[in-house]
Structure 1
């Protein structure tokens, strides 16, 4: 009887071991992933919803089985929202661990400083991982920056974050403005900053250019900023040719060669540094500037001095064969 009882215990033990091995094999064995596969866990998703989605996509055989294994064999840590890369050959156990502790794939769309809204629109519409349609945003309403987004996120939501970032940045910088700024409103600050953004790509010049244009506004001089001629023609895109005399003389709400003061609104989306420069411009007597041939500008306080600088610039261009 004793031997028979021991044998029964051994048999039962073997059966339990076999059952445990079978139970675990489907958890730690490979899922149906022949290649690295992106998978999106939507914000607010439950583990049940994720398991059902895994089954629908054929990554696992059974959502119920996945949930049962997870209940007894896995960590109780919550799953994260976001996009994950599931590696080829991963087991259901690996997949759940990735959702709980893995790195979320971060995707970015970058808006460079000085990108006009028509090109912001084109960039967002050209991002195939985003969804939905948007209108061209108001000029000057988008803060140039890199923004992360999720696969399948709406373009409208991404654009909303870009515009909210600009609103918050302008609010912050406006509160810190100096007494030297000529901007009477935050909108005027963004408009003038958009001109500064287009006029110089040299970071150390921004406050100087802002100071020069501030002086012109105080003295009632025309700003005479070439980018304001181009904006009504191309909406801020590169002109691709030299400006014509007829365009310089054109009368509209933007051309600062035919009007005194600021244009009706921004001519691009200025970055934080250009807005800050306008709200705290350099204290200078400069009223004129001309390119120096190396990407920057030479500044002058008087027209006579400026004419000499222009002559030097023309001579340099002749030496380069540009004239």
Structure 2
């Protein structure tokens, strides 16, 4: 009898072990296999949230099949206490293991809302955007210019709630004064700025920052990046340039930057100015004259007067020979590259062509014909700004 009981008990134990092994195998499959999510979601993990709260949220949103399995898997992997607050983009079909990695890895949030402070030539704007997980595209929630507008309520609420990503973006062609003035208005940055960095020393780009970051440290980061860009491109510069220092190259790059926003045109624009320097011709470029008037502190907002084109200033390239004394803006990498490796051309002139680009010419006769065509377009549009390089 006892043998029968023992045998039955052993059999039951084996059956239970097999059943347990099956449950464990099923649990592993559920944890590591593709999840039930049919479209991406944005999962928000609140500061101080527990694993139980997160697992129930995931189950409610259809991201996991069983909150208990998610918690058991997190415990088994040793990550149960590693939750990081933030907003995370959970992709379609993500496994529990992948989701656990997302919410415990830390770092910047991968979805939710972001604030981008765009410092442009004409104005600086703070833009609040939110990611639509279904399209993986950002939708604008609010936008305002700190210099003239009060923060909208959507922005105030978002800052108070937290869980935002922050970015400062410099447009190509902004001046150092514009950058410093704009950063002083950024309510999410801290610290004083002593003086304005040298013109041309800041790299236009997007910079990820933390709320409360130092303005001075951010400016130093921008300067370091521009220095590295110039050092990198300087090593492969053309050998016959009419300037032989990095500072002179940056001056040329800033002029190219202000003359055209079309990337493919920059080497050609640079070739015009290089050709004029090689021939001893004055550069005769309006952006330098404008900088001499504004000192880079804002936008002129009108056309140049003839008296201003004749007025002697260190930046009036209709009057002075060669390059102005400093850059006139902060050029981007493509303009620096164009200044260091200009196109090979015989062009000496260019003027707007009505399409957003320019018409180039090697002779004054060709240039005058291009100017006449632009004047006709200008008259149709009621404009009065020629742009480009004048004849002489």
TM-score normalized with structure 2 length: 0.58
Root mean square deviation of aligned Cα = 2.8
Q: Which of the pair is proportionally richer in strand?
A: 2
4+ runs deviating over 4 angstroms:
35-39, 72-80, 97-100
How is 1:152-301 mapped onto 2 (pairs within 5 angstroms)?
152-236=212-296, 237-301=298-362
What is the count of residue pairs matched by the alignment? 247
Give the 3 Å change call, closer, same or farther, for CA 79–276 of structure 1 in structure 2: farther
**More contact order relative to length (CA 8 Å, sep ≥ 6):** 1
- Report how far residue 212 of structure 1 moved: 0.4
Q: Distance in 2 between matches of 1:124 and 1:78?
A: 38
Aligned to 2:86: 85
Q: 1:210–1:278: 8 Å Cα contact kept in structure 2?
A: yes
Give unmatched runs, 5+ long, in structure 2. 1-43, 49-74, 89-100, 110-164, 385-392
Q: Does 1:306 align with 2:367?
A: yes
Question: Could you tell me how far apart the structure 2 residues matched to 1:229 and 1:270 are?
Answer: 17
Return the offset for 1:291. 0.5
**C-alpha offsets along residues 176-219 of structure 1, whole Å, 9 cap, x if unaligned?**
10124322101001000000000001111000000000001111
Matched residue SS, 2:360? strand
Measure how far apart 1:232 and its partner are: 2.0
Question: Does the CA-based 8 Å contact 1:116-1:235 persist in structure 2?
Answer: no
- The equivalent residue for 2:376 is 315
Query: Hey, what does 2:172 align to over in structure 1?
Result: 113
Give per-residue Cα distances to partners, 1:114-141, cap 9 Å, x unaligned: 1111111122212211110112221101
Quick one: distance in 2 between partners of 1:79 and 1:138?
A: 45
Question: What is the distance in 2 between the residues matched to 1:192 and 1:184?
Answer: 11
Q: Measure, in 1, the Cα distance between the counterparts of 2:46 and 2:190.
A: 20
| Local SS of the residue matching 2:356 | coil
Please give the alpha-carbon distance, in whole angstroms, between the structure 2 residues aligned to 1:310 and 1:227: 18
**1:125 maps to 2:184:** yes
Q: Structure 1 pair 77/245, CA: closer, same or farther in 2 (3 Å)?
A: farther
Q: Distance in 1 between matches of 2:263 and 2:87?
A: 43
Kindly state the Cα deviation for residue 265 of structure 1 after the two structures are TM-superposed.
0.5
Q: Return the alpha-carbon distance in structure 2 between the equivalents of residues 121 and 295 of structure 1.
A: 30
* DSSP-derived class of the 1:260 partner: coil
Call closer, same or farther: CA 1:283–1:79 in 2, change over 3 Å.
Answer: farther
1:312, CA displacement in angstroms?
1.0
Q: Deviations over 1:201-248 (max 9, x none)?
A: 111100000000000111111100100111022233321111011111
Per-residue Cα deviation, 1:226-285 (whole angstroms, up to 9, x for no partner): 001110222333211110111111111111011110000100000000000011000000
